[in-house]
Structure 1
Amino acid sequence: MTAALPEQRLVEEVARLERLKNRIAARQAEAIREFARAHVASQTADGRVEPGQLEGLERSIVAQVGLACRVAPVEARRRLRVARDLHAGHDRVRALFAAGELGEYQVATIIAATSHLDEDARAEVDRQLAERRVETLGVRRIHDLARTLAAAADPDGFARRCRAARSGRRVTVRPAADGMADLTAHLPVEQAVACYATLARAAQDAAASPEPLTRGRGQVMADTLVERLTGRATPDAVPAEIQILVPVEALLDPTSPLPAQIPGHGPLPTQRILDNTARKTWRRLLTRDGIIIGGDSRRRAFTGTLAELIRARDGHRCREPHCDAPIRHLDHIHRHTHGGPTSFTNGRGLCAFHNHTRETPGWTAHVVDSTGNTVITTTPTGHRYHSTPTATITPPFGRAHDPTRIRAG
């Protein structure tokens, strides 16, 4: 018998580890479900949470799962939903998951496609998926098949959801690498296709023009979008008001490699900002070790410049560990009702989810240093999690710029 070649053994090892990873994910889902059930039982048994307050309790469970798994609340809620729905009609999919034949992402795709169905309808979709050997399909095929089967299982509900989904149209912007951002429009399909076709037609017209074309098709479409949305002849002529962090070293030394920072969107070359001819308003903020410092107020709410300082210090992202959601609320770490000041060191930016979670019994937060940079969150189970703002601009060689060393004039 010919011995297996090294690469054959390695491929077999990769396959074995993939199945093992899937089985571990399945066991984690079981543990999440068991924790959720146990936590509900313990919180309602001692009277701390009334049965009618289960919505707040679910938020608390999601937050604790997120902290334990080191993921954002959106991902934690998805994992909790998967753990719950696997036991509500998806017996065959659950068995394939536990055997390592289906991966976590594949299972989550099936759960998301059938989340609106009752248990009997899910069981029918589950049966048909197993008959079609769902474990042999790619994620995209699983996505399309599961949604098709779910629509067939509840055609009236599918029609209602399609009508209701149109109210969710929106436009969002997300930071991307190298000073770019992704502008996304969530539209009814016919509107999205019409918009894209219009931009594509503009690119075709530009290509047919007798003038030399120096831009690619995608660039023409992007420039046309900006021009038609803003009414400006060129994208660089768009005015904007931008809050920006600029390291002092970059202002004093034109050769400094340190980039500027747009809070919530990432780095941008300092020279690109200084050379830009568009009309822009900049607000420069004082930093030390790349973290914004200063600010105080006697007001009840965080407003004005103080609110802007806190948001910029926290990078316009929720301060709770592993959460990347945008800041929606400014929270008093030491509660205002307990004498906590409306100050820079006592404020932190939170998403709506984590701000509401804090109102659930058993959750506390406190500052552990005089600067207010380190905050400890304690969960109802007694676990403690540290949160520290991430430095937005790194000083050269790890040394902080000392603003007291700058001489006037």
Structure 2
Amino acid sequence: MDGMDQTAHEVVIQLRERLRELGERCSGSPPGELVNLIRGLEALANTAAAVQLDAVRELTVAQRALDAEAGVDQEASDRAIASMIGLARRQSPHRGARDRNLAAVLRDELPRTREAMLAGRGGRHHAETMARHTVFLSREDRGRVDEELGPRLDELSPRALGKRACARAYELDPEAHVRHAALEHAQRRVSMQPQPDTMALVSAYLPMTQAIALWGVLDREARTLRAAGDERSLDQLRADALVERITGLGRDEAPRIELQLVMPAGGAFGAAALRKVAGDSRSPAVLTGGGPLPAPMARELVRSSPEVRLRRLLADPEGGTIVARDARSRRFSQADRELLLARDQTCRTPWCDAPVRAADHVVPWARGGETVVENGQGLCQHCNNAKEHPGWDSKASLSVDGVQQGVAVSTPTGHRYASPTPRVRPADASSGVDPSPDPPADHPRTQEVA
């Protein structure tokens, strides 16, 4: 460790110790002093964010130069840089790309905003807001907005800043504003994010007119039902109306979904044994694409609807890793692809958490990697592409009996990150369920993944 690395390490260690001391002195301090501490720490966090973005900018410049010398095109270089930033910040590559772009804009086109951040008067949210609402302006016009609003970050909330920046940008170049709006219309999309307590957040990025129309339909239906005596809240009524209108299913109708039940490997469990474990287990099932589902809720879904499929997954009783059969082709079989998705659930790159889009070879097939689950991982499209960058490497670690324990990821800068293979607890592994041969397929929802 030398040069900048040594200095940064010493500063971080000293600062962390001083902050820990401050935290220990909080108890019993007067409210006024605590408010001052909160304000001071917020300013410090803003300054740290600005310095971090400066480092991101310099990393981008340096890595692009190295990649250009190696013959790597800029798109591939930027993809790898986004992943490096995401890993360093313990966040997704998508957030890494946002930081990469924001850092360049602050240094080159929004210097007053950057200065305010360095002085602790504005935060990352302010900077992102300024960049987003001026993205379509020329460098000169963007500089004018920055000159007017950058020094005022400490006076404005991010929302108020966004309104002022948007209005000023429109004044400076209304035609560019209209062109940018047309481009944004092309970015309309719907996304889903699993949330705690068996919930999920479904969001739609829509043109304003369509969003207002959609909300109006849901709101009118909710208020009509409420006026007729329905006891559900308006929020609940709007949510139920959304599901009913899109899926065509009533509140009491079960959707077509797949539940996965993890069972210990080593026994020839049949369909009858599977149904017994499903009926007795306290362990959660796994909702494909969603996450864990408490056992009582899973049982109710299975019992109430023939549209709910129950799939068996076998897990190593000792390590808790889902295991599967061998495969010799370059492409993973459909069964193994489904098993990798069931095991990993989201992208295996640390802190990414994006949906799995590719069944990837940890050690690439072209370099001798086998097409087996032990050498497999689920990756999102970005991370699957970033992995092809020169200097990027990954290696699977296996237990003595050949079960994947984790994947070690190495980036072009020499940093290493660990991605432990997700563990599960087989449903009632010690409950004494006797292995039994497979009976006739008398239950359409029961499938086996070996």
Provide Cα deviations, 1:276-334, integer angstroms capped at 9, x if missing partner. 3233222221234553221322222123111000111111x111111111111111112
Partner of 2:41, secondary structure, is helix
Q: How does 1:311-330 map to 2 (within 5 A)?
A: 311-315=341-345, 317-330=346-359
Counterpart in the other structure of 2:168 = 149
Matched, 1:388 2:388: no
Q: Which has the higher contact order (CA 8 A, sep 6+)?
A: 2
Deviation at 1:164, TM superposition (A): 2.7
Distance in 1, matches of 2:430 and 2:63, equals 49
Q: Is residue 373–residue 388 contact of structure 1 (8 Å, CA) maintained in 2?
A: yes
Q: Is residue 310–residue 347 contact of structure 1 (8 Å, CA) maintained in 2?
A: yes
Distance 1:174 1:130, change over 3 A: closer
Counterpart in the other structure of 1:236 = 252
Q: How does 1:237-256 map to 2 (within 5 A)?
A: 237-246=253-262, 252=277
Equivalent in 109, 123, 129 of residue 149 of structure 2: 129
Q: How does 1:103-118 map to 2 (within 5 A)?
A: 103-118=123-138
Counterpart in the other structure of 2:217 = 198
Q: Is residue 178–residue 267 contact of structure 1 (8 Å, CA) maintained in 2?
A: no
Deviation at 1:258, TM superposition (A): 2.7
Counterpart in the other structure of 1:407 = 434
Measured on the aligned residues, the alpha-carbon RMSD in Å equals: 2.5
Matched, 1:90 2:110: yes
What is the identity percentage for the equivalent residue pairs of Structure 1 and Structure 2?
34
Counterpart in the other structure of 1:259 = 284
Q: Which amino acid aligns with 2:408?
A: I
Partner of 2:222, secondary structure, is helix
Counterpart in the other structure of 1:222 = 239
Q: Is residue 92–residue 352 contact of structure 2 (8 Å, CA) maintained in 1?
A: yes
Deviates most, 255-264 or 349-358: 255-264
Distance 1:262 1:334, change over 3 A: same
Equivalent in 182, 203, 227 of residue 163 of structure 1: 182
TM-score (norm 1): 0.87
Q: Is residue 113–residue 146 contact of structure 1 (8 Å, CA) maintained in 2?
A: yes
Deviation at 1:138, TM superposition (A): 0.9
Q: Is residue 259–residue 298 contact of structure 2 (8 Å, CA) maintained in 1?
A: no
Counterpart in the other structure of 2:335 = 305
Residue segments in structure 1 that go unaligned for 5+ positions in a row: none
Partner of 1:286, secondary structure, is strand
TM-score (norm 2): 0.80
Equivalent in 342, 346, 356 of residue 375 of structure 2: 346
Counterpart in the other structure of 1:336 = 365
Deviation at 1:6, TM superposition (A): 2.5
Provide Cα deviations, 1:335-393, integer angstroms capped at 9, x if missing partner. 112222211111111111111111211111111223223111111111111111333x4
Deviates most, 30-39 or 347-356: 30-39
Q: Is residue 321–residue 404 contact of structure 2 (8 Å, CA) maintained in 1?
A: no
Partner of 1:175, secondary structure, is strand
Distance in 1, matches of 2:150 and 2:435, equals 75
Number of positions where the alignment pairs a residue of Structure 1 with one of Structure 2: 391
Matched, 1:376 2:405: no
Q: Is residue 145–residue 168 contact of structure 2 (8 Å, CA) maintained in 1?
A: yes
Equivalent in 51, 55, 60 of residue 36 of structure 1: 60
Q: Which amino acid aligns with 2:414?
A: G
Distance 1:313 1:395, change over 3 A: closer
Q: Which amino acid aligns with 1:353?
A: H
Distance 1:228 1:149, change over 3 A: same
Provide Cα deviations, 1:101-130, integer angstroms capped at 9, x if missing partner. 111221122122223333212201101214
Distance in 2, matches of 1:214 and 1:290, equals 45
Provide Cα deviations, 1:147-199, integer angstroms capped at 9, x if missing partner. 22233333222111222322333322221222222222322222221122112
